[in-house]
Amino acid sequence: MTTYTSVTVTHRGGLDAVAVLDRPLRDPEPGEARIRVITAPVCQDDVAIRIGNRPFLRKPPFVPGYAFIGVVDAVGEGVTDVSVGDRVTALTQFDSHAEVIYRPQGELAPVPDELDPVRAAPLVLNYLVAQQVLHRVAHVERGQSVLVIGASGGVGTAFLDLARLAGLRAYGTASPRKHPVVAGYGATPIDYRSGDLVAAVRRHEPDGVDLVVNGMGPEYLSDGLAALRRGGRLVAYGAPQGLGALAVLIGRLVATNVTPNGKRIIGYGTHREGVTSFKEDWATLFELLGRRQIEPLVAGTYPLRRARDAYARLESGSVAGTLVLTVP
C-alpha cells in the first residue's frame, strides 16, 4: 500500500501530542484534487487547536495546518478548474501539514510558478488576513494611522508591510529585541511591556489613531480603544481562546458599538469573507510579491518531519515573522 507522511495531533496537549505518521494514499473523489504539498506556514492556530484553547474544535486525532502551496497530483471525476501539474493554494484550517492534501476544486486558487513557494507561503494566511482587514473591513485611506498590536509576528509583519504600501503611518507593539523588525517596515515600534501603551501612541498621534488591529486577545481591547481617535475602529481578528474569551469580545463589541463615542469594534474571521474574496486577494498579493513590492519575513524553514521543532520555536515567543514547513 502506498502511503504519505503527515503530522498528526494524537490528543490535546503539548508537543508530546505531535506525531509523524504514515497515511494511506487514495485516489481523489469526484470534484476533488489530490495535491502534493510544497510549503505550509505554521501559525498560532496550529498550536491553539492542539492545546484546545479555541472554541468549536475538531477532536483528535487530526492533521494540523491552516494553509499550503502545492502541486496538483491527481484529479477526481468532474474536476475542470485545475489540472495535474498546476500549482495551487487554499485555506484549510486543518490537514496541510502533510505530504499530501485533498481539497474540493472550488477552494483552490492558482499560484504563479515563478514565485518562490517559501516566500509566498506567508501570503496565503497572514497576508490575506492583513489585506482583508485593511481594505475590505477598515477601508483604509492613504495618510491614515494604524496601531498593530503584536506587530512582530507573522500576521503583524504582514500588517506593517501592507500598511507601508498603503501609505499609512504605522505603530507596532513588540518587545524591545524585535523593535528593529518593526522599524524595518517603516513603522514606529512601541514596547507594550513598559509603561503606558496609550500614552506612547498619543505622543505621536495626540488625537489617537484611525485604526487599531488586534489579534492578541481581549486583554488588549481597553488600551486599543483608548488609543483610537473619535470615529476610529478597532478590528479584532483571530479566534478567541475559548468560549469565555469569545463572550468577553462579544460583550465589549456590543457595549462599544452602542456607546455614542464614535468608536467601533469590528470582528474579523477569514471564514466570513468567502472563497471568492480569497482568490481575488491572493491574486493581488502574488502580483505584489512578483513585483517585489512586499517583503514577507520568513523566520525559518523546517522539513515536515521536524514540524515539532517549528511548533516549539513558535511557542517560545521568539519568532519574528512566519515559520514555514517544507516538503522535499
CATH number at residue 144: 3.40.50.720
Tell me, yes or no, whether 178 and 57 share the same domain: no
Tell me, yes or no, whether 266 and 307 share the same domain: no
Q: CB of 155 within 8 A of CB of 41?
A: no
Look at residue 278 and tell me if it is in a domain: no
Tell me, yes or no, whether 224 and 244 share the same domain: yes
The DSSP element (H or E) to which 256 belongs, if any, is helix 243-258
Tell me, yes or no, whether 261 and 193 share the same domain: yes
Tell me, yes or no, whether 104 and 134 share the same domain: no
Tell me, yes or no, whether 252 and 198 share the same domain: yes
Look at residue 290 and tell me if it is in a domain: no
Tell me, yes or no, whether 222 and 321 share the same domain: no
Question: What total number of domains does the chain contain?
Answer: 2
CA dist 35 to 3, 16, 30, 113, 276, Å?
A: 14, 28, 14, 15, 20
Q: Which of 253, 271, 289 is the last residue before a domain boundary?
A: 271
Give the DSSP letter of residue 27.
P
Look at residue 284 and tell me if it is in a domain: no
Tell me, yes or no, whether 166 and 236 share the same domain: yes
Nearest Cα residue to 35 out of 61, 302, 81, 319: 81
Tell me, yes or no, whether 181 and 212 share the same domain: yes
Look at residue 287 and tell me if it is in a domain: no
Tell me, yes or no, whether 265 and 315 share the same domain: no
What's residue 239's pLDDT? Answer: 59
As given in the structure block, the three cell numbers for residue 206 are 495626540
What's residue 193's pLDDT? Answer: 74
Render each residue's pLDDT in the chain as its tens digit; 328 residues.
Answer: 699 999 999 999 999 999 999 999 999 999 999 999 999 999 999 998 899 876 667 889 999 999 999 999 999 999 999 999 999 999 999 999 999 999 999 999 999 999 999 999 999 999 999 999 999 999 999 999 999 999 999 999 999 999 999 999 999 999 999 999 999 999 999 997 766 899 999 999 999 999 999 988 777 888 999 999 999 999 999 755 555 555 565 666 566 665 656 788 888 988 777 899 999 999 999 999 999 999 999 999 999 999 999 999 999 999 999 999 999 8
Look at residue 258 and tell me if it is in a domain: yes
Look at residue 245 and tell me if it is in a domain: yes
- Domain assignment of residue 188, given as a range: 123-271
CA of residue 141 relative to chain centroid, distance: 23
Look at residue 13 and tell me if it is in a domain: yes
Tell me, yes or no, whether 135 and 266 share the same domain: yes
Tell me, yes or no, whether 135 and 255 share the same domain: yes
What's residue 240's pLDDT? Answer: 57
What's residue 62's pLDDT? Answer: 96
Give the DSSP letter of residue 56.
S
Which amino acid makes up residue 174?
A
CATH number at residue 31: 3.90.180.10
Q: What is the DSSP string of 102-140?
A: EEEGGG-EE--TTS-HHHHHHIIIIIHHHHHIIIIIS--
CA distance 285 to 142: 18
